[in-house]
Amino acid sequence: MKRRNFLKACLIGGTTIALGKTNKGWASGSFEGYPEAMGVLVDTTRCIGCRSCEAACNKEQKLPEPDTSFDDPSVFEHDRRPTSKAYTVVNRYQKEQPSGPVYRKVQCNHCNEPACLTSCFVNAYTKTKEGAVIYNSKVCVGCRNCMIACPFNVPGYDYDSATNPIVKKCILCYDTRLKYGKPPACVEICPQEALTFGHRADLIKLAHERIRATPDRYVDHVYGEKEVGGTSWLYLAPVGFDKLGFDTTLSNDPIISNVKDFLGMVPMVLSIWPALFSGIHLLAKHEEQGGHGHDTDSNQEDTKP
């Protein structure tokens, strides 16, 4: 092979890779969830803040006794986030408004393309076909990458045991209920039916139908339909989602889209680059040793980009 041809090939190869980087046609990022995935639609206009969902979750998941009882309204004084001892919490917003407070249940949203799963290097997380994002605590090494990766600040970390690190979060009652087609414990106990369980695809239609039928009741947006590539938990709200503690700055692209271009480069760098540069090096060395066949003109030509 002529040195000129070799460099030309390198240039073409490099351009192809560079173009491939910006191509959105890569498999990840376009996944719209499993067709039979289930989900829960949270209608915040219906929630009365009774915290029964918290109690039901606590008992179903056999979590430790709460710090204070589940009918203690004092917990609403501060915003809470899910922890290893409480996979779901209810927060109160808009207390000063004449229309009364709005309550928002927080738990793992069970993304179609979970960032926790992407960030986990031991593959502790699985997105099941039923829509739940579950984890295997046996392989978890406690690196807590998932806690940083999660766009909703969900995974909690069990700090009580230093020897057995476990990240804990809502699993949509996968082991005890979802696997058998049954609704999660929080949905079943909700007195107001603020939580609606069903196929995710059906829930999206249902949510838009509620907005259409009673436009004064809702803002025209279903949170979780598109955010970070879509989530199994969907929300309806009477006021802007930003007023209820939702992150409204999230992109509709899954978190993996932010890193997949970079991660796609890694195998190339690790496997192709050593061979490529060794080749160039060897070729250059070879040319140096047997370089008497070249005149000055051709050398100048070769150094052109």
Partner 1 sequence: MSSYKHLIVAALSIGAISVSSPAALQCAPVPDSITLNQNGKLFSPFTFNHAKHIQSIKECADCHHHTTGTLVLDPNCARCHQNSSPTAVVSCKGCHSATPFSPETLAAKRADKQRYHLDKMGLKGAMHQNCIGCHNKMGNGPTGCQDCHPRTTEGAAFYSTNRKGAKPAHAEEE
> Of the candidates 20, 28, 34, 46, which one interacts with partner 1 according to CB under 8 A?
46
Q: Side chain identity at 144, as an amino acid letter?
A: R
Assess 138 for contact with partner 1 (CB under 8 A): no
Stretch that binds partner 1, among 24-32, 144-152, 188-196, 244-252 (CB under 8 A): 188-196
| Coil, helix or strand at residue 11 | helix
- Please state the closest distance from residue 184 (CB atom) to partner 1, in A: 9
67 binds partner 1 (CB under 8 A): yes
**3-state SS class at 110:** coil
Enumerate residues 6+ apart whose C-beta is below 8 A from 36: 129, 130, 199
Listed in sequence order, the residues at least 6 apart from 138 whose beta carbon sits closer than 8 Å to its beta carbon are none
Return the residue of 19, 213, 270, 275 that touches partner 1, per CB under 8 A: 213
Q: Least distance to partner 1 from the beta carbon of 125, Å?
A: 26
Residue 28 near partner 1 by CB under 8 A: no
Determine if 175 is a binding residue for partner 1 (CB under 8 A): no
Given a contact cutoff of 8 angstroms between Cβ atoms, the answer to whether 52 and 70 are in contact is: yes
Q: How far is the CB of 88 from partner 1 (least distance, A)?
A: 13
Q: Specify whether the CB–CB gap between 147 and 14 falls below 8 A.
A: no
Q: Note whether 122 and 131 are within 8 A (CB).
A: no
Residue 72 binds partner 1 (CB under 8 A): yes
In three-state secondary structure terms, 204 is helix
* Residue with token string 């501060």: 78
Closest approach of Cβ 25 to partner 1, in Å? 33
Query: Taking CB under 8 A as the criterion, which residues in 242-301 touch partner 1?
Result: none
Which range binds partner 1 by CB under 8 A, 10-18, 66-74, 241-249, 261-269?
66-74
Total residues at the site for partner 1 (CB under 8 A)? 43
232 sits near partner 1 (criterion: CB under 8 A): no
Among 29, 165, 198, 245, binds partner 1 (CB under 8 A): 198
128 binds partner 1 (CB under 8 A): no
Closest distance of CB 116 from partner 1, Å: 23
β pairing state of 102-106 and 89-93: antiparallel
DSSP 134: E
Contact between residue 78 and residue 21 where contact means Cβ atoms under 8 Å apart:
no
216 binds partner 1 per the rule CB under 8 A: no
Q: Which is nearer to partner 1, 213 or 266 (CB)?
A: 213
Bridge-based pairing of strands 133-135 and 156-157 is unpaired
> Residues 6 or more apart from 195 whose CB is under 8 A from it?
40, 41, 42, 43, 53, 105, 186, 187
Contact between 80 and partner 1 by CB under 8 A: the answer reads: yes
The helices-and-strands tally (H runs, E runs) of the chain is 9, 9
Which one among 120, 167, 190, 255 touches partner 1, defined by CB under 8 A? Answer: 190
Q: Does 199 bind partner 1 (CB under 8 A)?
A: yes
Rounded Cα gap, residues 223 and 147, in angstroms? 21
What residues make contact with partner 1 under the rule CB under 8 A? 46, 48, 50, 52, 55-56, 58-59, 65-72, 74-75, 77-78, 80, 83, 86, 180-183, 187-188, 190-193, 196-199, 202, 205-206, 209-210, 213
